[in-house]
Structures are given as structure tokens and as C-alpha cells.
Amino acid sequence: MSLATIVAASEANKNPLLPDMAEMTIGIFSFLVVLFFLGKVLLPRIEKTLAERTDLIEGGLKRADDAQAEAASTLEQYRAQLAEARHEAARLREEAREQGAQILAEMREQAQAEARRLVEAAHVQIEAERLQAVAQLRAEVGSISVELAGRVVGESLEDEARQRRIVDRFLEELEQRSAAEQVTS
């Protein structure tokens, strides 16, 4: 291969840095077609689809979150109710206990009152019986003592009115004496 052919060949070749206008025109046309179909038609569609998918996934996540939140709030509610019920039960038990104690106290009070009343009544009866006994004694002591005295002195004190007067006088003296003793004491 001679030098002349190399030089000639390299001169015949176009400079690769100089763009061919026909090529460039067709290239621009081809690129504009691509740009139009992708940029105006196809990419907006896939963008929309991707956005929809994102929305859907995020929506699903949000729904799951909501459901979880609801479950949590329901659980909280149940717990609150349960606690309230327990509280209520405790309160009722307490009340019942108090009531029971109160009833017990009332009954005890009543029983005590009844007992006091009975004791009172018994005292009153005893007093009455005592007074009756005293009155009866007073009636009987006079005759017994007169009879005893008549027997002792050997003379019959037949004049009954006289006898009674002496005895009454004697008894009054006695009562006065005891009354005077009560006053002085």
C-alpha cells in the first residue's frame, strides 16, 4: 500500500467531527417522534398509573391504620367499662357491708331498748308489788302486834276504836320519825 493511497483515502473521508445535515434532520425527526409519543402520550399514562398505585397502597395502609386505631379505641373502651364495672361492684359491696353494719347496729339498739324497757317494766311491777306488800303489811302488822301485845300484857283490849287509835298514832310517829330522819340525812 503506497503512501499516496493513504493520504488520498484520508482526504476522501469526511471529517467525523462535521455533522451531516441530512443525518441531523432525520435524527431530529426521529427524536421528535420519540419525544412526542413518549412525552405526550405514554409517559403521562404510566405516571398516572404509578400515582394511582401509590395512592392505592397508601390508602390501604391508611385503612389498616384506621382499623387498628379503631380496634385500639374499642379495646380502651372495653377496658374502661370493665374498670367501671369493677369499681361499681366494689362500691356495691362496700355499701352492702355498710348497710349490714347499720342494720346490725340498729337491731342491737332495738334489742337493748327492748331489754331496757323490760327491765323498766319489771322495776315498776316490783315497786308496785312492794307498795302493795307494804300496805298489806301495814294493815296486818297492827292487828298482829295488838294481839301480840294483848297476849303479852294479859289484858284484853276490846275497845277496838281505842286500839286502832293507839296503833295509828304509833305508826304515824314511826313515819314522822323516818321522814325526819330522811330530811336530816
Binding site for other proteins (CB under 8 A): 1, 3-4, 6-7, 9-10, 12-24, 26-31, 33-35, 37-40, 42-50, 52-53, 56
Instruction: State the nearest-atom distance from the C-beta of 48 to other proteins, in Å.
Output: 8
Phi, psi of 20 (to 5 degrees): -85, 125
CA atoms of 114 and 122, how far apart (whole Å): 12
Of the two residues 45 and 183, which places its CB atom closer to other proteins in the complex? 45
How many CA within 13 A on the CB side of residue 86?
6
Of the two residues 24 and 144, which places its CB atom closer to other proteins in the complex? 24
Instruction: State the nearest-atom distance from the C-beta of 81 to other proteins, in Å.
Output: 43
* Distance set, CA 43 to CA 28, 30, 55, 137 (Å): 20, 18, 18, 137
Question: The cell 386505631 sits on which residue?
Answer: 69
Of the two residues 24 and 107, which places its CB atom closer to other proteins in the complex? 24
Instruction: State the nearest-atom distance from the C-beta of 73 to other proteins, in Å.
Output: 32
Instruction: State the nearest-atom distance from the C-beta of 64 to other proteins, in Å.
Output: 18
DSSP H/E element including 157: none
